[in-house]
């Protein structure tokens, strides 16, 4: 893949007084898209045979989400496919990343397929293809069928086999039209937020459970890859989306350098090493104070089944400072610096740090060499205000996107095989435990009326993407 070093100035339709930013031209086949996930946008939780997921159950439990909000209605996308796909076309998206709801498709988690659940995604895919938008399907974005949770959820090895069956059922129906697939979204979050920190479904708080879950999630990925491929075209590509936080040192004391290594192992290598090296990092479990999960003979060869691309989700970095124990030796505990003077932060409290995206892409390329990478999530929540007419003036999000895209351009120019950039998110949506108070969309959603208003960032992105589609001289 070649890239020219031509730069272009970005027009900003309808947006006054903005500095024109120059962004390098990307290769013509670079994918520009936006992402969502099923529980965060669909609503319609009781329709067409869908059964409850762990998130329906978790969000209905008092004290788990902001103001007790749930995904029951969300952005009502289930009833608005045509309108939402038309919006994607207006944004000039070349790709749309969405997830499928397992409890719509297999309400019991296993067994009989609910064809009406698949019908919904079938229609969505046809709408996308009619507009030349490439679907990127994620099979698991955290909404496990409750029936499986009742049988142990991801703590049960059986769930890994159930996932592979589910993956095959989806591919059998949609594999003729979708050629980019992700098995899981952010296994670290499934395992750690759900089973150690308890801030996501199913809300458990035990690190040992989290590593056991992580292993079954990895296994399910490896089991699903060949089952998917049975029903896909030879050109189709299968991957997994992993979330990364590059770790930086707050000072250069030896204990801090030790802490950087520890934090990186825990936050970035826990899932990367098994996927690409077929083993867990040596000191992962001892540093976490847990035992290794139960690993069967073939597990690592299944987990490290070659994939076609790695999805990289990036939001921010970690800055850490080490601690010493009573003897002055580096301690396994370290401090994460929450506020860095001079840095700016998004509404979720995440530091804006575009250089971290380059750092992680280059590092993954050097150390793990995936065949290709797609930035499957990048974006920010800001305090967007709708003016009541057609405007949401979110300059901070435009700046955020420009800076991150510029960073990706530099990485691509260095020869790192990054093939796409997908904004989180297409629409404002149910931001898990944060409910609806955090808005990530390129498109604003007025929840009482479900009216969609394209934000200035959406207009900017549309214009940027179209400039990339223009033929280089």
Whether 377 is catalytic is: yes
| Cβ-based nearer residue to ligand FCB, 313 or 463 | 313
Whether 367 is catalytic is: no
> How are the residues of the chain apportioned to helix, strand and coil, as percentages rounded to the nearest 5?
40, 20, 40
Alpha-carbon distance of 421 to 198, in angstroms, equals: 30
Binder of ligand FCB out of 96, 188, 276, 440 (CB under 6 A): 440
Size of the site for ligand FCB (CB under 6 A): 12
Q: What residues pair up with 378 in beta bridges, in sequence order?
A: 423
- Per-residue contact track with ligand FCB, 330 to 369, x per CB under 6 A? ----------------------------------------
The one-character DSSP state at 193 is I
Q: E-assigned strands of 372-424? A: 373-378, 418-424
Q: Is 186 left (phi over 0), alpha (psi -120 to 50) or beta?
A: left
| Residue 186 is a binding residue for ligand FCB (CB under 6 A) | yes
Alpha-carbon distance of 424 to 247, in angstroms, equals: 22
Binder of ligand FCB out of 160, 189, 196, 423 (CB under 6 A): 189
| Cβ-based nearer residue to ligand FCB, 56 or 377 | 377
Provide the minimum distance between the beta carbon of 431 and ligand FCB in the complex, in angstroms, as a whole number.
Answer: 5
Provide the minimum distance between the beta carbon of 18 and ligand FCB in the complex, in angstroms, as a whole number.
Answer: 25
| Residue 185 is a binding residue for ligand FCB (CB under 6 A) | yes
Read off φ and ψ for residue 324, nearest 5 degrees: -115, 155
| Residue 299 is a binding residue for ligand FCB (CB under 6 A) | no
| Residue 211 is a binding residue for ligand FCB (CB under 6 A) | no
List 42, 168, 186, 431, catalytic entry? 186
| Cβ-based nearer residue to ligand FCB, 440 or 461 | 440
| Residue 436 is a binding residue for ligand FCB (CB under 6 A) | no
DSSP letters spanning 128-184: HHHTT-EEEEEEESS--BHHHHHTTGGGSHHHHHHHHHHHHHHHHHHTTT--EEEEE
Instruction: Report strand pairing: 31-35 vs 373-378.
Output: unpaired
| Residue 42 is a binding residue for ligand FCB (CB under 6 A) | no
List 42, 168, 377, 431, catalytic entry? 377
Binder of ligand FCB out of 10, 24, 37, 183 (CB under 6 A): 37
Q: Which of 139, 142, 155 is nearest to 57 (CA)?
A: 142
Provide the binding-site residues for ligand FCB, judged by CB under 6 A. 37, 40, 185-186, 189, 243, 313, 377, 424, 431-432, 440
**Catalytic residue annotation:** 186, 377
């Amino acid at each position: 893949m070649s890239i020219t070093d031509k730069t272009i100035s970005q027009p900003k339709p309808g947006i006054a007084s903005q500095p024109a930013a120059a962004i390098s031209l990307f290769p013509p086949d670079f994918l520009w898209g936006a992402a969502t996930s099923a529980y965060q946008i669909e609503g319609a939780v009781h329709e067409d045979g869908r059964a409850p997921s762990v998130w329906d159950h978790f969000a209905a439990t008092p004290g788990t989400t902001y103001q007790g909000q749930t995904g029951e209605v969300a952005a009502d996308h289930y009833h608005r496919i045509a309108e939402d796909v038309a919006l994607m076309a207006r944004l000039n998206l070349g790709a749309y990343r969405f997830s499928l709801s397992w409890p719509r498709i297999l309400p019991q988690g296993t067994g009989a397929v609910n064809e009406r659940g698949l019908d919904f995604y079938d229609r969505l895919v046809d709408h996308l293809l009619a507009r030349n938008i490439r679907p990127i399907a994620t099979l698991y974005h955290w909404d496990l069928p409750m029936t499986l949770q009742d049988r142990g959820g991801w703590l049960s090895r059986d769930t890994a086999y159930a996932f592979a069956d589910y993956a095959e059922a989806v591919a059998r129906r949609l594999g003729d039209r979708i050629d980019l697939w992700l098995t899981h979204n952010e296994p670290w979050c499934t395992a750690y937020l759900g089973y150690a920190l308890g801030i996501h479904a199913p809300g458990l708080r035990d690190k040992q459970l989290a590593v056991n879950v992580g292993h079954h999630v990895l296994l399910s990925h490896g089991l699903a890859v060949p089952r998917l491929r049975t029903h896909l075209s030879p050109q189709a590509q299968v991957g997994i989306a992993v979330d990364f936080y590059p770790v930086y040192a707050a000072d250069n004391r030896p204990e801090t350098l030790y802490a950087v290594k520890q934090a990186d192992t825990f936050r970035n290598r826990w899932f990367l090493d098994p996927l690409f090296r077929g083993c867990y990092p040596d000191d992962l479990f001892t540093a976490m104070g847990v035992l290794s999960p139960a690993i069967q003979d073939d597990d690592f060869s299944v987990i490290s089944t070659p994939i076609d691309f790695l999805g990289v989700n990036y939001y921010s970095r970690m800055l850490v400072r080490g601690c010493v124990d009573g003897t002055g030796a580096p301690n396994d505990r370290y401090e994460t610096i929450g506020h860095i003077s001079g840095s700016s932060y998004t509404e979720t409290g995440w530091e804006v740090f575009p250089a971290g995206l380059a750092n992680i892409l280059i590092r993954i390329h050097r150390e793990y060499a995936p065949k290709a990478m797609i930035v499957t999530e990048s974006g920010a929540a800001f305090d967007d205000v709708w003016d009541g007419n057609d405007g949401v003036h979110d300059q901070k999000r435009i700046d955020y996107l420009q800076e991150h895209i510029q960073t990706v351009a530099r990485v691509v120019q260095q020869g790192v095989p990054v093939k796409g950039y997908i904004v989180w998110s297409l629409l404002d949506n149910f931001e898990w435990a944060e409910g609806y108070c955090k808005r990530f969309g390129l498109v604003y959603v007025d929840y009482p009326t479900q009216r969609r208003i394209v934000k200035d960032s959406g207009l900017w992105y549309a214009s940027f993407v179209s400039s990339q589609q223009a033929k280089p001289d």
